[in-house]
A and B are shown apart, each in its own frame.
Chain A
Amino acid sequence: MTARTRRHVAVVGAGPAGLAAAAAALRAGARVTLVDAAERPGGQYHRMLPEQYRAARPERLHHGWAAFDRLRRHVLGHPRCAWWAESSVWSLERPGPGDETAPRVHVVRGPADGAGRERLVLDPDALVLAPGAHDRVLPFPGWDLPGVFTAGAAQALAKGERVVIGDRVVVAGAGPFLLPVAASLLEAGSTVLEVLEANPAATVLRGWGRRPWELASQAGKAGELAEYTALLARHRVPYRTGRAVIEARGDGRVEEVVTARLRADWSVVSGTERIVAVDAVCVGHGFTPQLELPLAAGCALREGFVQVDGDQRTTAPAVLAAGEITGIAGAPAARVEGLVAGWAAGGGDAAAPEARAARRRRDRARAFAARLAAAHPIGDGWPGWLRPETVVCRCEETTYGALCRAADAPASAAARAVKLGTRAGLGPCQARICGPSVAELLARRSPPPDLAAGGHRPATPHHRPVAQPIRLGELARPPKENL
């Protein structure tokens, strides 16, 4: 079989999920094009240090480095794999109804800040989407002050660039991801004053169940979590449940935060407020899957994630999905989903023993994701933290008050009209940060009638047909096809 006649699998995203998918598709005999916007593979988890740092021991702070390094070398060096670094998928063009072929993949390739990236298109036989998630932050008064970091940004700075974000830091939000963030800050030399989990202990314990370590170990996370917990203990960092940062204050940058006890629904128990002097604060409330590509491909969603079957196939023909876009369960889970997806995309035999084993591990990873979601939900009471002047969309500086006024006026209450009227979510981040929060706030004030706005897709904050910015000059040029 020549390279040209082999089955061609395109994989978008070279994080744990995409890299594993590429490896499995190669193993199944396919030709693979692996595409990632970043310079290096690894995604969010194995965020590699920029080359110029020439880190002597990149494995520090990076769990499972050796295995990742082997996989990376194997995939990138494989004769049937084309590795496209610094390549952003800016659009997916789905075929018309009844057409069972994969969507056309539109790419711009070249350094993001360089002029004149080239435009390329791929027409693969199967497409694996593994674009991951970004971290979510709920708005609260003062969250737009300098010195307030998303947990993900703080993590990226500490892990990717080895930048210290502050000396006295509070880490707050929801989910186990707060632990590695606190660990990275400690490693980078910050003092972490406390780690606050908004959910009360009862919710967390009920979700994790009676033998949490067993569950985590099945998902490959036990050792890591134990290590973070030990590190926190060694540095005497308290881990408090049922408490949150509800306000950040300061003159021009954060100087103190207000923390408070929360009820199970995240409403504030008044009288429990405490003021803590800080020079930085990290907040994270779980993750938002990057759904623009799956939505462009026409994939159905289930409970906010891409719906997949036992082989990680989505509802769109020839499109498979793996990693955080199908559920949040950490890098090991993303990896095993990638294996299942890549094998199926590459035309591997579903009955092969290794495929069965991978599916079993994937099923356990899904169970873990479900329990994580149950242990660290987002409480309904968070809008109670907001004040009319609190900014909810940082790009356009839309306040909570303005949003409520637009949503409460019957003539402009449709979600799209509110957006256009207040500009919430229309700025450069294209609602990646505020979209889910704004959508939730609006849905509470007026149940969306938009669903039926005939001919137009239901309003979702993730609908971004231009998935990545593309310069007019790049867009104007005709693309190179069928590589």
Chain B
Amino acid sequence: MRVVVLGAGIVGAACARELARRGLAVTVLDRGGPAAATTAHGEGNVLVSDKGPGPELELARLSRRLWPEILAEHEAPPADAVEWDAKGGIVVATTDAGARELARFADSQRAAGITADTLDAAALAEAEPHVTRDVALAVHYPEDAQVQPSGAAAFLLGGALRAGAELRTGCEVLGAVTSGGRLTAVRTSAGTIEADAFVNATGPWSGEVAARLGAPVDVRPRRGEVLVTTPQPPLVFHKVYDADYVGAVGSGAEELQASAVVESTRAGTILLGSSRRRVGFDDRLRPEVLSVIARKALRLFPCLAGVPVMRAYGGFRPYVPDHLPVIGPDPRLPGLWHAGGHEGAGIGLSPGTALLLADLLTGRAPQIDPAPFRVDRPAVLFEGDDQ
């Protein structure tokens, strides 16, 4: 069986790897280079802490289990470039209202089997000596981890190539060739490519690509920005984030949302995320947005006030109005499959997504319920009016 994966971001890379290892003849194509788009413009949090009970949490837990397994398959140094760090996350509420909400949220997660330990002031001070003392509630999630996203994507793609997949860059999908109502080939800027199945993994462009293929899905860009400081001595030891983050993730609001996510990287820089705005593909960095991110981060770590920001970057999260990824066959166009719409969690969720997609595509029983991610749900097929 021949499969063409459209898009060489982390989701396409993970799918290609999983399919190639099952013996399928896989081609990955991308209009740019591998892992150069959204995957190289975000952060690498692999989180369970920000997800309430439900299908996304199940996908996150599956992925969290798969990451170490996948990394263990190859020796360092390739796996080293992934910078896997199971450092755990700490969620901090600085207001009483926030604390009540966080307590309720953590309870519901515990009921779903997530480890969420409440930290008292002393335990928090020991875990994060530089965090604000102005804390109403802090919860520790030991399962949270992080990767370096483009390193992780390169690692997954490398696995696909070793398993026999072929990579074609500089190849843009332009349209469909159908036969008897079935997708049999894609027209690209580098010729027509035939296959038995096509996986749309084009991230925030999934909507546009699906429309070109004649089966539109409602995936839209949601802009996010991140600040990067100059290298610092160790100051931040976990991923530390504001309890508001959970609200911002779950919101679909058009206006600016920002919540602090503070983490250090192996290079010593501190990443401060992130904003959420719906502005189409407008890639201008707005200083006032950066200012809001700085303000929120300083609320968590007042001691960072004198630390210089040397860089800022931004990307477009692939956003679906009901905040769930789209994974599975497209019932309107046999031969077309989707793996996208992961919004701000596509790095972390890529292994589980690939496993689920490959199970469905090769007819194996999936490990989690695929129904919530199906393509023919109202949020995905509804054609937005505000684009």
Residues of A within 8 A of B (CB): 91, 93-94, 96, 104, 106, 115, 396, 409-417, 420-421, 423, 426-428, 430, 448-457, 464-466, 469-473, 475-479
Contact = CB atoms under 8 A, between A and B. Distances in A.
B54 to A, nearest CB: 30
A93 B312 CA distance: 14
B341 interface: no
Nearest to B148: A420
Interface of B: 13, 30-37, 40-41, 81, 148-151, 153-155, 157-158, 160-161, 167, 169-170, 172, 204-205, 221, 227, 229-231, 267, 269, 272, 281-287, 290-291, 294-295, 297-298, 304-313, 315-316
Tell me what chain A mostly uses at the interface: helix, strand, loop, or mixed.
Answer: loop
A428 B284 contact: no
Nearest to A97: B282
Contact of B205 (A455, A464, A472, A478): A455
B63 to A, nearest CB: 20
A414 B281 CA distance: 21
B285 to A, nearest CB: 4
Contact of B298 (A426, A450, A473): A473
Given A452-B31, A469-B310, A410 B150 contact: no
Question: What 7 A-B pairs have minimum CB-CB distances, sorted nearest first?
Answer: A414-B33, A453-B32, A473-B305, A412-B154, A411-B157, A469-B308, A414-B36
Contacts of B40: 414, 416-417, 420
B291 A475 contact: yes
Given A409-B154, A471-B306, A472-B309, A417 B290 contact: no
A412 B309 contact: no
Contacts of A91: 285, 287, 290
A455 B305 contact: no
Nearest to A427: B231
Given A94-B284, A430-B311, A451 B32 contact: yes
Contacts of B284: 93-94, 96
A119 to B, nearest CB: 8
A115 B148 CA distance: 33
A419 to B, nearest CB: 9
B306 A115 contact: yes
20 contacts: A91-B290, A93-B284, A93-B286, A411-B161, A412-B35, A417-B150, A420-B40, A428-B230, A428-B231, A449-B36, A456-B41, A456-B315, A457-B283, A465-B313, A471-B305, A472-B305, A475-B227, A475-B290, A476-B294, A479-B287
Given A414-B33, A453-B37, A471 B154 contact: no
Contacts of A465: 285, 311-313
B172 A452 contact: yes
Name, among A411, A452, A454, the residue most crowded by chain B CB atoms within 10 Å (CB to CB).
Answer: A411
A479 B154 CA distance: 41
A430 B157 CA distance: 28
A382 to B, nearest CB: 25
Nearest to B37: A453
B304 A412 contact: no
Contacts of A104: 287
Contact of B161 (A410, A449, A471): A410
Contacts of A396: 267
B32 A414 contact: yes
Nearest to A296: B285
Contacts of B149: 420
A453 B36 contact: yes
Nearest to B295: A476
Contacts of B315: 456
A423 B310 CA distance: 14
Given A472-B304, A476-B295, A428 B167 contact: no
A455 B221 contact: yes
Pick the most buried of A421, A430, A464, A476: most chain B CB atoms within 10 A of its CB: A476
B42 to A, nearest CB: 11
Contacts of B287: 91, 93, 104, 106, 479
Nearest to B269: A426
Given A409-B158, A455-B281, A466-B311, A472 B36 contact: no
B33 A413 contact: yes
A395 to B, nearest CB: 9
Contacts of A449: 30, 32-33, 36, 169-170
A466 B170 CA distance: 29
Given A411-B158, A457-B283, A452 B32 contact: yes
B307 A472 contact: yes
Nearest to A473: B305
B166 to A, nearest CB: 10
Given A454-B37, A455-B221, A469 B309 contact: yes
B33 A453 contact: yes
Contacts of B283: 455-457
- Of B40, B149, B298, chain A has the most CB atoms within 10 Å of the CB of B40
Residue from B170, B281, B287, B305 having most chain A Cβ neighbours under 10 A = B287
A71 to B, nearest CB: 32
A466 B312 contact: yes
A465 B309 CA distance: 11
B34 to A, nearest CB: 6
A417 B311 contact: no
Given A471-B306, A472-B309, A417 B35 contact: yes
Contacts of A456: 32, 36-37, 41, 283, 315
Contacts of A473: 294, 298, 305-306
B267 A413 contact: no
Given A413-B33, A428-B310, A423 B267 contact: yes
A449 B298 CA distance: 39
A316 B74 CA distance: 50
A420 B154 CA distance: 11
A421 B151 contact: yes
A475 B225 CA distance: 14
A466 B228 CA distance: 10
B113 to A, nearest CB: 34
A10 to B, nearest CB: 16
Nearest to B160: A411
Contacts of B41: 456
B282 to A, nearest CB: 7
B275 to A, nearest CB: 13
B153 A472 contact: no
A347 B34 CA distance: 48
Nearest to B316: A455
A476 B169 CA distance: 41
A389 to B, nearest CB: 16
A455 B316 CA distance: 9
A458 to B, nearest CB: 10
Given A396-B267, A411-B157, A416-B40, 16 more contacts: A412-B158, A413-B169, A417-B154, A420-B40, A421-B154, A427-B231, A449-B169, A452-B32, A455-B204, A456-B37, A456-B315, A466-B285, A471-B305, A472-B306, A473-B305, A475-B290
B107 to A, nearest CB: 33
Contact of B37 (A412, A455, A471, A477): A455
Nearest to A453: B32
B312 A416 contact: no
A283 B309 CA distance: 30
Contact of A412 (B34, B172, B204, B282): B34
Nearest to A106: B287
